[in-house]
Structures are given as C-alpha cells and as structure tokens.
Amino acid sequence: MEKNNNKSFLEKLWTRKIPQYLGTYLAVGFGLFQFIQSVIIQRYGINDLWQDRYLFIWLILTPAVFVLVYFGYQPNGKEVYEKKKWPKYFIITNIILGLGAGLFLINGKDNITDKETELIALVDEQGKEVKAIVPDLRKVKSIALFQFENLTKNKELDWMGVAMSTLLDFNLEQRPEFYVSSSFELSPHYQRSGVPLFTAPNIGVQRNIAKKSRNDYFTKISFEKTDGIYTFSGDLYQTKNNKSVLKINVTNADIFLALDAIRDQIFESISTDYDIKDKDLANFDSNFTLPASALVTSNVKALEHYIKSSITLFKNPSALNELIAEGKKAIELDPNCSMCYLSVGGAYFGQGNQTESLKYLKDAIKYGSALPKRMQFYPKQLFYSLQNNSDALMKLLEFHKDLYPYDFNTYKLLLTRYTINGGVEKAKALMQEAVENGNRELGLLELYKIQLSNNNFADAKGSLDQLTKEFPEREQNRLLYADLYEEQGKIKEAKTILLKEESLDPFNTSIQRRIAYLDFINLNFEDALKRIDKGLSEATSLSDSLSYMRSKYGYAHSMGQVKKALGLIKDYEELAIKQQPIINVMFSNYTKKTLLYQSIGQLEGVEEVLEQLGTFMPNSYDNFRCGINLQAIYYGYPLVGDNSDYLLCKDSVFKSQGEGFVDLFDLSKAYIEKDYSKCIGVFENSSADLEKLIGFKFFIADIFHKSGNSKRALEIMKNEVAKKTQDPLNYLKLAEILEKEDKTESKKYLDITLGFLANADANYIPLKKAKALEKRLAE
C-alpha cells in the first residue's frame, strides 16, 4: 500500500488503466454516436437535436468516468468510496447535471414545424376531391440524381445515362417525401462549377453540387452492357459527410425493371413509414408505385428521342425545330407518351405558336391523367397560362402548394399574386409558410427582398443576418448587403462592398454591371458607360455579352437616346435568339420597345410590336394592348387608340387577373378622366398593394399632387430620389412638384434631370417637359 502511495500521479493513471478505460469509453461512445447519426436519425426521421444532446451528454460525463475508474480501479476501491464521499457525490452530480443540461439546454425546434404526417383531402383546380399524404418535414428526403456514367465504351449510349437519371427522378417522386433533382434540374450548378452539361463529374464535384443545391443525398451510378444485359452499380451518398448509405448493384436486361429495383433499394434504405393510423392508407399508398415503364414510355426508342429532345433544349434553347422533330418521332413510336407531348408543346410555345402549343399540351394533359399528380402539374400550369385562365391557374398552384408544401417553386409562382391581391403582409405570410416548411434559404431570401422593396430596412437586415448565419457559405450574401446600402441611398458603402468583391472576382459580370450602375445613379455617367463598354469588349461568353448589352440599352433609354436604345435592342435580340427561344426574347423586351416608341409619340412603332406579339400569341393580344396603354398612362404618353378603347380593358383583361387589377383599372380610369380625388380613394381603400402593383413612384406622387396633397407627393418623391435612381423622371417629377413651393429646389432637381438628358433625342417627351419647366422657372 505504501509503495502504491509513493507513485506519481501519472504512474497511478497508468496503473489504474485510466487511458485504456477512457479510450474505450470514448471509442464506444463515438461508435454509438455514428450509429445514432447515420442509422437511427437517418432511418427513422428523428429530430437532429437528439444527436446534439447525445454528443453533449457523452462528453460531459467524461469526468464522472474518470473519477469512477481512478478511485474504483484498486483493491480497496469500495473502502475508498466509503471513506471519501466526494467521488460518489461528484459522479452523481455530474450525471444529473449532464443529463439535465443535455436535455434542457440543447433544445428547440431546429426551425421546423411540429406538423405530423397527415392523410388529407384536397380539392384540385377542377373541384375534384383528392386524397394525399403530406409527410412530416423530418421525413422528407432530397436527392441530387446525377447522370448515370456510361461505361459501355459506346458513346451512342450517353443519352441513356441522362434518361436513367430522369426516370429515376420520376420514379422516386411518386412518394411524397422525396424531392429529387435530375441532371436537367442540376444544370445551372454544372455551369457555375465549370462542368460541361450532361457529363458525369467526379465525386468531389458531385458532392459540391449537391451541397449547393441543398440536397441531403446524391447518387453516383454507372452502367455497363454485356450481351444485352445491363449492370447498374454505384452508391447513394449522404451529402453532409460524403458517406455511402447504400451500395447499388442491379442487373437486368430490361432497363425499366432495373430502375424499379434501384428505386426500391433507395426506398428501403432511406425512406420511412408514414405512421398514419388510417384504415384506407394501405390501399392509398399503393398509388405511389407505378413502374418506371408507365411514367414516360415503355418504348426504349421513344424514350431516346424524348431525352434527346430535352438535351437539345438545354444545350441550345434556340434549336426548337430540332427539339420538335425529336419529340414528334417519340410520339410516333408511342402515341400515349404524355411527356413527349409536353416537350413538343413547350417548344411550340417557345416559337410563339400558341395554337400548336395548346394542341399538344391538351394531349399531354389527357395522356398524363393516370400519372402521379406531381408529373401532371407542369403541363397544366403551362396550359392555363397560355389560355390566360388565371382562376384555374391559381387553384392549381394552391392545390400543388398544399400537396407538396416543401416545393419552393410553387411559393415563388404564387408570390406575385399574393402581393397584388393581398398586399405585403400576405406576401410575407406566404414566405413565412415556406420557411416553416423547410424552405429556409429561399424563403428568407424572398422575405429579405420583400422587406427591402418596402423600405423596411431594419427587418431586411434582420432577415439577411439570419440568412448569413444559417448559410454562411452563401457568397451571394455579401452582395445582398450592398443592395441594402444601395436602397438606402448609401452609394459609397455599397460600392465599397462591390469593389472588394471585384478584387476577389475581377471577371464577374454581375459585379462589374452593378458597380457601373452605382456610378450611373450617382451621376458619374462617363465612368459607368466606360465600364460597360470595357466589359462588353472583354466578354468571353454570349451570356456575358448579352448582360452588358442590356445595361447599355437601359442607360441609353435613361438618357433619352431613343434611337440609339432601339438600335441596341435590335442588336441584342439578334444575338439573344442564338441562346433563347424567340418568344422569350420578345417577352423580355416588348415593354421596353413600346415604352421607347411611346416616349417619342411614335405609335406606329407600338402597333408594330403589338402585331408581332399578336402573331405569336393571338389569345393574349388584348392583354398586351391593355398593358401597354396602362404603361402609357403611368408615363403620361399617348395611348394606342383612344380612351374609349382602354375602357374596354376592364372586362376583357383586368377582371380575370383578380381584385387588385380591377382596383388598378378603376384608378387608371379615374386618372384619365382627371378625377384625382377618386384616384386617391381607390388607392387608399384597395385591399391590394397598389403601390407595389403600380411600381412607378412618380405616377403615385402625381396623383397626390394633382389631388391637392402636395405634402404627400413631396414625401414620396424625396424618399425616392434619396435612394438615388436610374430614371430621370423621378427627379423631373420632384422638380414639378416643387415648382410653386421652392423654385431654387425645383431648379436643383431639374438640373439633375437635364444632366441625364443632355444628349437626349429632341422629340423625347420628358425632355420637352423638362425644357418647358426650365422656361417657366426662368420667368
């Protein structure tokens, strides 16, 4: 005993096997931690907080284990515990405090609602009741399905790798807890990562893309073909730790049966039970397991043409004739292929052939009626949009949102309508719903944008801070802080951020254009235009060239150089149709072109643009004409036709768009009738956010000014110019409001307007108004 007491502390540690026991404790504990993390939580959808609690308790109990071993591992250990009470009390206290702290300090809902899995009844856009399972968010699985790698040494089969990814996407998404991204949906991330489209990148790039696209899992699967037999092998990886959770190995001569087997393996590996006690659930659940051969086509050659048509679109969006040809070949081989009709109908829409587009979309809907609801959504969405059937479209979007509450795209599509008809608060509530349903990144981003656009700068900063905290790897967040400063008129602070980002990424087109924009709105026109010209001359891609050209014609418009702007738009369109479907190019520019023609009173130019649009989309001609005339009312430009033509728009266009648009029409009608007090009544009593719907602050200020409320008009315009603006009409409107109240201030803002318009075309209507005001102020 004496000899033992003379040992040093380190010797006692070794003699009592402290390192061995602690090592065993830590090793076993870590193994159990991995089991909880990768099996229990992953498999059964248990809250991630339990792994944090376990980790905390496991580590915090280490001192108790040390004391237990140190005093207990000796011949008279029991006597020591009886004589020395403190080790026992220490161990008990450590256990109580550790368990208590782990269970109660590490708490929360990890930003997820407590909504349980439900079997619900919904009503679709046609008024039919539909039963659906909406899973608990913690059971949701998102997967990045990369193109299957072709190991056959036959490049002609590369299409099959894309087809397998696409079919497996449709196959997995038959279950409502699966949200899958195919190689088509991942294409933007390929481009940002510098990876050629429709190739199989290495696992490091795949994991990076999976992380960027916010997918929980990703696949790396290859296929071989020997004597007509296909062998599919690979892994399903967990994105956060790059760990394989499933080894995939399937052999079959039938690719559709092989995909069904892969689907079942993935379901077995990471899917979870719904835990719904409903007597009809067993029969209901079987609807989610259609075979792969029933989802697109069972004809392999038809599948090849369908996939090749889609690949064509993604590689060259302007090659619509080739896409249509491939799609029609697929339809000839399988006249029941719903997705093939959708492909052709979408291509005709891109060409502006509304009649043919609607014809093929009708067939896509007809032949897709037996497909899973998720696959029926897009054909209907496009069909109702082309028909201008806003009521059916809204019902469809609401139905889809309730059926698949974790799909953010639907929230995004609903956002504009919510804002228009329900105001800012309804829009924020929609985004909050998206956030609560797991769409935290995109939901917080949209909340930030809503708050920023409504000058709620403190709230916007709060949302941005939260976004940055939860997603620190988002490089775009730094640029969003520049937006926050810019909207407050703090140009210097915004530019400081952008210049720092430029030093890190000098060839980033977006950053270059934004610095130029800040110079432009800060009245440094020469610097802004030089930067844009330099960027355009150094552009290395078609996309970059088009971006700089958009800035260039936008600045020409702001400076009243109408002829130059129209020429630049023509050059832009000739280049853009090499990259985009012609209908997209026309849609992106028709309001700009008509506004330019209106600004010089050249209504025949407006009619020409309308005629082109009507040729492509005859069903939407009234929408275009009414929208262009509403635009003319905002700016004080001449209308196409007379006022009586515009008054017909209420029934033909505005009523179908919802109550907000009806109020907007009533306001515009009162304005052209010069009943400004009625304008104010409609504006202030509408349940819709008319300020957001109108958008142009100079028009809103003009209403208040003409109704006699110059104070409110001044407040609106001073707030607008304080933020800086690209549109000189804001400065001109402020100068007009100040004309009779403060000529000195009026002249100050008029001089800014004339600075913008120093080289404007002589027939530019705002220049004429500015010159007239200058003459009045000089009297």
CA-to-CA dists, residue 698 to 278, 521, 704, 713, 731, angstroms:
59, 17, 10, 9, 9
Note the pLDDT of residue 81.
53
Q: Which domains does the chain have, with CATH numbers?
A: 2-105 (no CATH), 140-272 (3.40.50.10070), 581-596+605-641 (no CATH)
Helix intervals (H) in 437-541: 440-453, 457-470, 476-487, 491-504, 509-521, 525-538
Closest CA relative to residue 262, chosen from 285, 291, 232 = 232
Note the pLDDT of residue 206.
93
| Residues 582, 586, 589, 594, CA torsion sign | positive
Instruction: Say how far apart CA 635 and CA 621 lie, in whole Å.
Output: 22
Helix intervals (H) in 38-76: 42-44, 49-60, 62-72
Note the pLDDT of residue 270.
86
CA-to-CA dists, residue 765 to 241, 372, 630, 631, angstroms:
62, 55, 17, 15
Cα Rg for the chain, rounded, in angstroms? 32
Instruction: Give the pTM.
Output: 0.76
CB 367 within 8 A of CB 397: no
Instruction: Say how far apart CA 428 and CA 432 lie, in whole Å.
Output: 6
Note the pLDDT of residue 311.
92
Instruction: Say how far apart CA 344 and CA 331 lie, in whole Å.
Output: 9
Note the pLDDT of residue 188.
85
CA-to-CA dists, residue 270 to 134, 207, 264, 266, 667, angstroms:
17, 18, 10, 6, 56
DSSP string spanning 540-590?
-SHHHHHHHHHHHHHHHHHTT-HHHHHHHHHHHHHHHTTTS-HHHHHHHHH
Note the pLDDT of residue 9.
58
Note the pLDDT of residue 132.
78
Q: Bridge partners of 119? A: 133
CB 243 within 8 A of CB 38: yes
Exposure of 237 by Cβ count < 10 A (0-12 exposed, 13-18 middle, 19+ buried)?
buried
Instruction: Kindly list the averaged pLDDT for each block of 10 residues, start to end, along the chain of length 779.
Output: 54 65 70 63 55 69 72 55 65 73 57 58 79 79 94 93 95 90 88 82 92 93 94 95 93 96 92 55 56 95 95 86 95 96 92 89 94 91 88 91 90 87 85 88 92 91 92 86 92 94 89 95 96 93 91 97 97 88 85 96 95 82 92 95 89 85 94 96 90 92 96 95 92 96 95 97 97 93
